[in-house]
Structure 1
Amino acid sequence: MDVSATTWWVTIGVLIVFLVIDVGVIARRPHVPSMRECAIALSFYVGAAVVFGLWVWWNSGAQYAGEFYAGWLTEYSLSVDNLFVFLLIMRKFLVPEKLQQEALVIGIVIAIILRGIFIALGAAVINEFASVFYIFGLFLIYTAVKLAREGSIEDDEFKENRLLTWVEKRFPVTPEFHGPKIATRIDGKRMLTPMFIVIVALGTTDLLFALDSIPAIYGLTKEPYLVLTANIFALMGLRQLYFLIGGLLERLVYLSIGLAVLLAFIGVKLILHAMHENNLPFINGGEPIPVPEIPIVVSLAAIVVILGVTTVASLVKSAHDDRSKQAPTGC
């Protein structure tokens, strides 16, 4: 895919404009967004992603458009899993509802910056070492097995990472929030507020999720431009999604299983690709292995089916459980 420097800069510029508007609106009026507000914003971001995919199709062909859509859907589904952890972080630090929006958007901005660095590093490694796809594939399969065994995260399972623990020990933190401020001065002493800790928790937690999502999307496309834009579109609607389906998340009981199947599928696809372009001397004498590769059309269809079945099965199971709880019990 031939992406000019101008296209790169225009894309980054548009992203910055959207983020500035998003941050500016929230900073001016911290509040709990209504369902209507979230639905409109989320519809805009989803629509923008669809239109962007059509532009890729028109400009570079159906193959790259399919890669973008597959990557975007995969990142979006993995981002939904992030929301479970975001909910736990908000509960753990008792973030007031009207401040949750600001914490989310700043955490997402940090995540976009850190993911951009990860994507650049991933592209550099892939260009130098094609065999890294073996590692990516095996890692995704390992993650899938682990996710399937452990299931979803329960309320008491969130643990602070080392960076968060270090920040809390190294710097004084006020016991209460001071609006959206990340730092304040008390009795002449500069102190951080819990808002700063929450933002660090959100940003670094999302970065940990990137360890799975970046290899996964590189299994669907090797174009850094598509990898970056798919991540951006998946993250930009995450704040609205958090408030829109916060209660629905608990009903997606099979989400972990669905994501495990998705990651395993992409892991297998990566290993097949690595075998097809094999150059490791201890595997088949360093010669490519004639194995079939999974076309992007098949990948896109598989992703849609996996996510669709996961969602429908989860909602059916949740509805059945609700009816069971409401049913009268005999003596």
Structure 2
Amino acid sequence: MVARGYGGSEVLGTVTVRLPEPGAGQVRIRVEAATVNPVDLVTRSGALVAAGLMAAREQTGIGWDVAGVVDRIGAGVTAFTPGQRVIGLRDLLDVSLGAYAERLVLDAAAVAPAPPGVPAAAAATLPLNGLTALQSLDLLDLAAGDTVLVTGAAGAVGGFAVELAVRRGLRVVAQVRSADEEFVRSLGAEWIVGDDISDLACEVRRLVPGGTDGALDTAGLGIRALAAVRTGGAYVTVVGGSAPPPLRGIRVHQQWISADGAALAELAAMDLTLRVADVLPLERAAEAHDRLAAGGTRGRLVLVPSGA
């Protein structure tokens, strides 16, 4: 399943290609599940071409996350064997084939053993969103006992961020809708603020006098989330183009995801909360894109090969 040109979900369509062969240091995966993420919609729309992040092409590969079974290895690969269940992440933007496919070739360094006993659809939701949360917390570089604001805490990245932050000994202020409060508290959030972002900083500072030590802004609130951080603290956004200026000596970072098989293996061993909103066959990818664009899903929509 690829994008032929750019635009709405109608540009998605299937193509038949020669079976890809893994090169040195690569593995080929028989795909059992591929997750639908917001970046897929942005890629399909042509926004990344307009932003200069990729070249225009007649056929663009869609899909980053994959769960499946190794069916062939390239020269020099010793960490994986055919028949092994794995998860992986494609972090290259400008490609003609993505994870929405029956087979996918990835660098072995972008692959990790799948979480044991976890269905492929759930396992496929971990790589992009889990690594984004992990790498964002690394950028914040907070110490155990510090406080962190997580915006969009009930989202796919936000949920992982709350769980991982708590595991690091951080105290979490979660910004969520009231309907999601119980779920986010179950992940370990200590304080909850609502979705009225006009009063976000005041509400956070009421709970944490002086402001939080850091903010992980998965909702792209920008300056409003930054205002909740103490002077000299840290701020990370995962939404491109939403980074505010580094006011009051706050360290400001834009997090750009990178595949990391070793870190992904650590995540897979953590028994994190994996959420699947629905599973659809690959030929209904356009429907999945439209549902994600409409909003309101909790967990990820996942595509599986036809007939699976």
Q: Same fold (TM over 0.5)?
A: no
Give the TM interval when normalised to the shorter protein.
under 0.3
Structure that is richer in strand per residue? 2
Structure that is richer in helix per residue? 1
* Larger-Rg structure: 1
TM-score (norm 2): 0.23
